[in-house]
Structure 1
Amino acid sequence: MLAFKILFAFLYDLLLLCAVWFVSAIPFVLWQGSEFQQKPLVLLSFQLYILAITYIYLSYFWVNSGQTPGLRTWKLRLVRNDDYLLTRQNAHLRFITACLFFSVGWITLFIPSKRQTLQDLLAGTKIVSIKESQ
């Protein structure tokens, strides 16, 4: 059950992140023009810009409360293995491993013995259920 809650929280956050990407792309497109896809270096800089926006968005929630809007909705919290909030270093490591192992990382969530994504295992973090009274 926890694995499906984590997956649904991810999908919820992805939906919100799409809105953030859309809004954050507007200034870039206005600055570069609609033909920026034709220029490889500009396209690469746009992709790095979107990646940076994604990191800022996610790490803000991870470090400050341990709950992105999706995790909050599904009553989950991202914590270190010692049950404290993530440090900036944990957030860096989790984000980098999530980017590198995105498609493979989710497979480990459905292994009964661990119930953690690969990025959580590598970063020393975990997603836990919280009680409604918190």
Structure 2
Amino acid sequence: MSGFKILFANLYDLLLLIAIWFVAAIPFVLWQGQEFTDKPGVTFAFQIYLIAITYVYLTFFWIQSGQTPGLRTWKLQLVTENNTLLSRYSANLRFIFTILFFLIGWVGLFLPKQQLLQDRFAKTKIIAVKNQ
């Protein structure tokens, strides 16, 4: 399987997440006003809010089918090392590692196993799906 497919699937999901963040920001901005960025505590709360939305989006798909819309488009699936769907614990672990390795997790795609660093630590893998 090509590391580029994994990269493009994640970019596809990022585009969807940006749209979701945009819509999710509307009530927050209406509630706090446009100057909410001038208040450090409110800015921090907004960042936590966006991370929570990201958590719900990703873990929902990981647990339900192992396929986010991006993974489904590229015919990929996220599974455990035993080829089973992720449990809530596995999804939480992978999400934490995804946050921790956000900037360097991609390095794993260029190693022989072509596996994201967060997948190595969370004991998960992305596999190709033949039929959907």
TM-score when scaled to structure 2? 0.97
Instruction: Answer yes or no: is 1:115 the counterpart of 2:99.
Output: no
Give the superposition deviation at 1:110: 1.1
Structure 1, unaligned runs of 5 or more: none
C-alpha separation between the residues in 2 aligned to 1:13 and 1:108?
19
| In 2, Cα distance between equivalents of 1:63 and 1:82 | 15
- Deviation of 1:41 after TM superposition, in Å, equals 0.2
* Alignment deviations for residues 32-57 of structure 1 (CA, whole Å, 9 cap, x no partner): 00000000000000000000000000
Please list every run of 5 or more consecutive structure 2 residues that lacks an aligned counterpart in the other structure: none
* 1:83 partnered with 2:118: no
Return the alpha-carbon distance in structure 2 between the equivalents of residues 2 and 88 of structure 1. 27
Q: Secondary structure at the match of 2:67?
A: coil
Quote the Cα distance in structure 2 between the aligned partners of 1:110 and 1:94. 20
2:94 and 2:123 map into 1 onto residues whose CA distance is: 8
CA RMSD in angstroms comes to: 0.8
- Once the two structures are superposed, the pairs formed by residues 1-134 of structure 1 within 5 Å of their partners are 1-112=1-112, 114-131=113-130, 133-134=131-132
Q: Percent identity between the aligned chains?
A: 64
What's the CA shift for 1:102? 1.2
How far apart are the structure 2 equivalents of 1:39 and 1:52?
20
Partners of 1:109 and 1:98 lie apart in 2 by: 14
Equivalent pairs counted in the alignment come to 132
- CA displacement 1:1-25 (0-9 Å, x = unmatched): 5200000000100000000000111
Deviation readout 1:80-121 (Å, 9 max, x if unpaired): 000000001111111111111111111011101x21101000
Stretches (4+) displaced over 6 A: none
Return the TM-score normalized by structure 1: 0.96
C-alpha distance in 1 between matches for 2:18 and 2:25: 10
Are 1:2 and 1:129, in contact at CA under 8 Å, matched by a contact in 2? no
